[in-house]
Every structure is written in structure tokens, then in C-alpha cells.
Chains A and B, each alone.
Chain A
Amino acid sequence: MKRVATALAIASLAIASRAIASRALASALALTLAFGMQAATAQTLKAVKDRGQLICGANGTLAGFGLPDPQGNWTGFDVDFCRAIAAAIFNDPTKVKFVPLTAADRFTALQSGEIDVLSRNTTWTMSRDTSLGIDFAAVNFYDGQGFMVRKSLKVNSALELNDAAVCVQQGTTTELNLADYFRANTMSLKTVTFATADEAVKAYDTSRCDAYTTDSSALYGERLRLSDSSAHVVLPEIISKEPLSPAVRQGDDNWEDIVRWTHHAMINAEELGINQKNVDAMLKSSAPDIRRLLGVEGQFGDALGLTNDWAYRIIKAVGNYGESFERNVGQGSPLKIARGLNALWTKGGLQYGLPVR
């Protein structure tokens, strides 16, 4: 019991220091912008190659998307995406350094050049795209905001949450959608805002709030971390559109292309039936789409500043989109999230690989 309490104290201290670190990052950015020289924004690929390592901003606390295990091995859907980029560049998916970021400090980390790519369940919105000096590469997960409540409250719909206290994480679209939703349905609420998802979830777990709200994909992951996950239920309402996308700094078109086409290589591989197991056999395929994707024909990788077998390396290292999805958040994971909107367009979803030609 004492050990648990100590661990808890250490964990909460770590969380709190992260919350404070995020402000420190913001002030550091302010300082850099005020006194620093202009960063060379158009050289990301060269910088990554020179460094011998990709630096990837990831979640760090979200099961299924970005979470290090006790040995420090990162796993998750967003983590796989960074490994795919590293595979395309270095032919080695382990040449990635993951930087755990809170929602509040992720954009600052990208703006200040601390990370090369932000792959951290981040919603693509107009204001972020136009005013933060960042660009979104491709929607790799179509999500929406949901609510989780205790089963004992006997709430069946988010519309019954009038006067409820809701825990939410700061610096997210969630924080804004929540206020919008309650206003649109003329309900009142008590928002309790925390700097990190950890704090918000922990507060919800100790029943500081009636409901916890975030992207529905994350709700399933967070539910697993509660003291008694079977006592909680995710409500059916999806109250927002959350197209999650990796992001890069604005002004480096080549780097943005690499990130975008990494995603489309994985989608195209799934469309073409290429997976981690059969990718070597597929090199001998006579289908022109497959030959172009795997670099047997054409100079597509060369045009990206990579080698022509860039997509082969990605598929060999992390598999196609569907494999990564199922392994991290789908049927092969504890989350069991259905493909839904993230199924291929040929199967009623929205994932559509742009043509490699």
C-alpha cells in the first residue's frame, strides 16, 4: 500500500512537472523568437539525415497511439507512422527518437524545431493550419469527440448531461467543442480543465467529474487505465469531427511531401494487397501499380529525395495501413476499435490512397 502511494506520488509529480514544462517550452520559444536567428526551415530532410535520427513528437500517455513500455520501447499507431518515415529515410524503423508531448506543448515543440514531425493524435483545423506556422500532411485517422461516464450514473446519452461536471484537457479542440455542444443543446456544465490528459483522467477516476471527454478513440485507451474500467461506459454521441493528422513546420515542401506520401504509401499498400509478409514476393509482381509503389519501376523515391525503394522499406518495417491499425488500435489490440470511417474507400470508409504515378 505504501509502495503504491509512493508510486502514485512520483507519477503525479511527473505529470505536474510536465504541465509546468509545457509553459517553460512556450517561454523558451518566445525567447528564441526574440533573440534567436531565423531557423533554416527548408532543410529538415538534410538535418534528419545528418543527425542519423528522426525526432518525432508523440503522445507518451495514450494507449494505442503513443505509449512507451517500461523498457522504453514506444508502440502505437502514431508511433508506427514515425517509424515508417524513419524506415523510408534510413531503412531502419528504430532510428527515431520519440519526444512525449502534452496537448498544450505540442505546437510549440514543432514551431521551435525541437521535433521534425508531430505525430500525436492532432486534429487538423483551419486556425491551426493557417496561424500556427505548421502544415498538416494527411488525415491518417478520422475521429470524433465522445464522452465517458460511470455506469452507475445510468446516463444513456450525452444529452442527459445537463449540469454535469466534465473533466477535459487543456489546449485541445475538445475543450472548445465541449463548450459548443452544451451551448448548442442549451445545457449547462461545469468544466474542470487540466493541463494534461493524465491529470484529467485521474481527476475523473476519483469522481471529481461526472464525465470525461476527448476523442472517442482515446476514450477507449484511457478507459483501460482507470481503476475499474468495467464500471465506465462510452456514450454513443460523437459531437465533433476530429480528423487527426501528422504535422510539419510550414515552409519545407519536400519534407511535407515525404510525410504525406508515407501515409499514402501505407494506404496504397493496403489497397493493393501488399503487406509486411508478402512484400518481398510482390517485388516480382507484374501489376504496374505495385511495381511503381515498390520502386521496381519509376523514380518516385528519388523525386522525394529518398531511394526508390522507400515504400518497400515502409511496408517491410511497419506493414500497410490496415496492419498498423489492427495491431495498435483494432482487433489485435485491447482497444478493439472498428475501422469505421478509417476503412478503405472501397469498403465504405474514407481512407483513399492518392495514385503513385
Chain B
Amino acid sequence: MAETVNNGSRPTSSRPTSSRRARRSRDIALQLALLAVVGGVAYAAIVNAAQNLAHAHIASGFGFWNNTAGFDISQTLIDYSASASTFGRAFWVGLLNTLLIASLGIVLATVLGFVVGLARLSRNWLVAKVACAYVEAIRNVPLLLQLLFWYNAVLKSLPELRASVTLPGGGFLNNRGLFLPRPEFGPGFGYVSIALAIGIAASISLRVWSRRRQERTGAPVRVAWLALGLIAGPPLVVFALAGAPLSFSLPQLGRFNVLGGVEILPEFAALLVALSVYTAAFIAEVVRAGVLAVPHGQTEAAQALGLRPRATLRLVVVPQAMRVIVPPLTSQYLNLIKNSSLAVAIGYPDLFQVFAGSVLNITGQAVEVIAITMAVYLAISLVASLLMNIYGQTVAVVER
């Protein structure tokens, strides 16, 4: 037994360095061999695909990227026209639509998930049971079904164009979507943005100062209202001084459609609601697990020190819960990003619908398009995962 231990991971006595070196070079050789095998398989797959495509007389290569797309897209965050834009441009339009739905979905799902998760732990019986019912009902019904429910049952029951609901302030709501006034920024609006930036910077420094002061003297400083004033005050003053350089172009009811204004498509709204509501149910459970993972003794200790319940939650429980919450929370974010491709079921023009749909079918180049699409989803997920890992390190418990 002793000998196997010596040859294993903890060489304690004779010739430790040489055996470690031998083991290390063997490891490297193994890694290289594995890399070569993986690379070889990938290379063989590419060559084989190219041969098969040529044999079947199917066009291949990435030349289609710069060809004119010729089809329209219902929601474009960047300039796009069927006649002038390329398939490559259509790709970017789809990618931005995916990023838009994913980022908004993550924000909404996080907020809703934390609220529901904490509500489930509430001592108020009704609140806890409502949160419990939400979680159990939502996470046990397929997302696709929920998506179709939001799209067909809820949004399609909105009034038709001619019976549009007129919103206060000049917007419209109908089954073509939500139409809001579009802000038009006047010439002096740049100064307002600068004032806002200065206000935000000032409130951050105020917060840093107050925290240092508290650490030094122990006396808590209440700065929340002052910080809010710093953020809101200067921009408002500058806005007034610059002569209110902001106007709104109101949407108008046209013969067929609402024209002008900001348009929020029903497909977008349905997808956003479905993704947020669904993912929030899982996040709620993650949050509940995280909070329950903090030993009750911590709460009792905090109370013994005289902290109030809210301060206990904010200063003792949540920071310790976060290190448990972040890894599974990352998985939920990645799920949401990938689930956004269900857009294809209701016609929201995300990357999957535009690129792996219209572009694939018009060019017929399935191999290239699917490969690009997979690579892009992989890249988005890896970036999201990296950001969450960085955040996870900042909330990790620091051992003292």
C-alpha cells in the first residue's frame, strides 16, 4: 500500500522529481494524442462533407454570405432592406434579435425569480403558497406550450387595428403589437446625457465614501436619497436650461397599420413573457435552495448581534446564499439563451428563424448555415458563462 501511495500523487521519499517529470511528460503526450485524434476527426468530417456535397452537386462554401438576401424581416435593430442587404447582414439582424430577447429575458427572469424564490420562503402563508403554486405550475408545463399559449391565447385576443386601444400619451395597443411614441432628441440633448453621466459618477463616489466611512467609524450613513437626487437632479436642471430638447413622434393609425413610433411586435412580447416566466420558476427554486443553504445559526447570530430582519437578509444571508446560487443560475441563463430559438414556432425573427430558416432555405447550404448557427450559440453561451464565472468569483466567500 505504501508503495502505491509513493508512486501515486504524493511522492514523499525517493526520487520525487524524476517520477513527477516522467508522469508529467506522459500526461502531455496523452493530451497531444487526444488533441490529434479530435483534430483528425474534425478534419476528416470537413473533407468528407466537402466530397459528399460535391458528389451530390450541392453548392458549398461561404460565398453566399455577400449575396443579396431578397427577403424582408419584421424586426430589425440595424438598417436592413430586402433589396440592398446581404445574407450576412440578415445574419447580424437575427443575431441582434436573439441577443435582445436573451438579455431582456435574463433581466426579467432574474427579477421575477428572486421575488418568487424569496416569497416562497415568506412566513406569510398566502404569499408562500402562491409562490409555490407559480413554481409548480410553470416549471411542469412544456415551454413550447406556454409560448403558444401566450402568443395565440393572449395576444391574439387583443383588438384589431380599427378597434385599437388608445393609450394615454399617444400609443396604440392592438393585435399587431404595442406602438409607443418615439423619442426625438433635440440638439441640446447631449448635455443632458453628460449631466446624467456626471450624476451617476457622483452617486457612485458617494456610495464608496459612505461605505469607507462606515467601515472606519461604524456609524451607518444613509445616502440613498442623496444618491437618487444626484442622479436625477442635474439632468433635469440641464434639461430645463437647454429648453426641453426632447419631443415625441406619435404613432398614427394608417389605412392598414399603425405607422411611426416604436413598434413592439406581438411575437417579441410573447417570446419575452414566455421565456421570463418559465425561467423565473427555475430561478426561484435556485434562490430558495441558496437561501436555505445558509445555516440557520447565521441568522440567529446576526439577530443576536442586534441586526434587524432586513439587514440580516441583506448583510448576512444573501451574500452567503449567492455563492450557492450563482453556478445553477448560470445554467438557467444558458437555458434561456438556447430556449430563445423556440422563436421559430411563432415567427419572431431571431437568429434561428432568420438564418437557419430563411437563409438556409434560400441558399440551400444546410451544412454551412447549421455550422455557423451552432458556433454562434456556443459562443454566446460561453461568453455568458464566462461573465457569470467572473461574477461568481466576486461573490465567493473569502476565507480569512
Contacts and interface: CB of A to CB of B under 8 A. Distances in A.
Contacts of A161: 256
Contacts of B255: 162-163
A206 B175 contact: yes
Contacts of A19: 344-345
Interface in A192-249: 192-195, 199, 202-203, 206-208, 210, 249
A13 B254 CA distance: 34
Contacts of B369: 26
A210 B256 contact: yes
Contact of B74 (A12, A26, A193): A193
A59 to B, nearest CB: 16
Given A20-B345, A26-B366, A165-B176, A191 B56 contact: no
Contacts of A71: none
A20 B29 CA distance: 43
Contacts of B366: 26-27, 29-30, 33, 108, 111
A25 to B, nearest CB: 9
B80 to A, nearest CB: 11
Contacts of B58: 111, 131-133
A13 B356 contact: no
A107 interface: yes
Contact of B82 (A17, A33, A38, A179): A179
B145 A13 contact: yes
Contacts of A32: 52
Interface stretch (B65-73, B197-205, B283-291): B65-73
Interface string A9-52: 10011011101100100110110111110110100000000000
Interface in B341-371: 342, 344-347, 349, 352-353, 356-358, 360-364, 366-367, 369-371
B144 A193 contact: no
The residue in B73, B361, B362 that gathers the most chain A C-beta atoms within 10 A of its C-beta is B361
B344 A23 contact: yes
A194 B152 CA distance: 14
Contacts of A270: none
Interface string B276-310: 00000000000000000000000000000000000
Given A20-B345, A199-B347, A207-B160, A170 B83 contact: no
B364 A36 contact: no
Interface string B241-256: 0000000000000111
B34 interface: no
A26 B344 contact: no
B28 interface: no
Contacts of B267: 192
B161 interface: yes
Interface residues of B, number: 59
Q: Give the size range of A's interface with the partner.
A: 35 or more
Contact of B367 (A13, A30, A107, A127): A30
A104 B257 contact: no
Given A19-B345, A30-B370, A203-B347, A104 B357 contact: yes
A338 interface: no
Interface of A is mostly: helix
Contact of A38 (B55, B161, B342, B346): B55
Chain B contact surface mostly: helix
Given A19-B344, A26-B366, A34-B367, A163 B361 contact: no
Given A20-B344, A35-B45, A208-B175, A133 B56 contact: yes
A190 interface: yes
A194 to B, nearest CB: 4
A127 B160 CA distance: 40
B59 interface: yes
Contacts of A29: 366-367
A191 B72 contact: yes
A336 to B, nearest CB: 29
Nearest to A153: B256
A8 interface: yes
A190 to B, nearest CB: 6
Interface string A99-130: 00001100110010000000000000001101
A98 to B, nearest CB: 21
Interface in B135-184: 144-145, 147-149, 152, 156, 160-161, 175-176
B130 interface: no
A130 B57 CA distance: 8
Given A165-B256, A206-B175, A8 B52 contact: no
A26 B256 contact: no
Nearest to A150: B160
B396 interface: no
A9 B144 CA distance: 11
A8 B361 contact: no
Contact of A192 (B70, B152, B347, B374): B347
A178 interface: yes
Given A132-B58, A206-B156, A180 B70 contact: yes
Given A153-B256, A161-B256, A180-B70, 6 more contacts: A16-B345, A20-B345, A23-B352, A164-B256, A178-B72, A193-B347
**Interface pairs A-B: 10 shortest CB-CB:** A171-B361, A179-B82, A16-B345, A131-B59, A191-B72, A133-B58, A133-B57, A34-B45, A164-B256, A133-B56
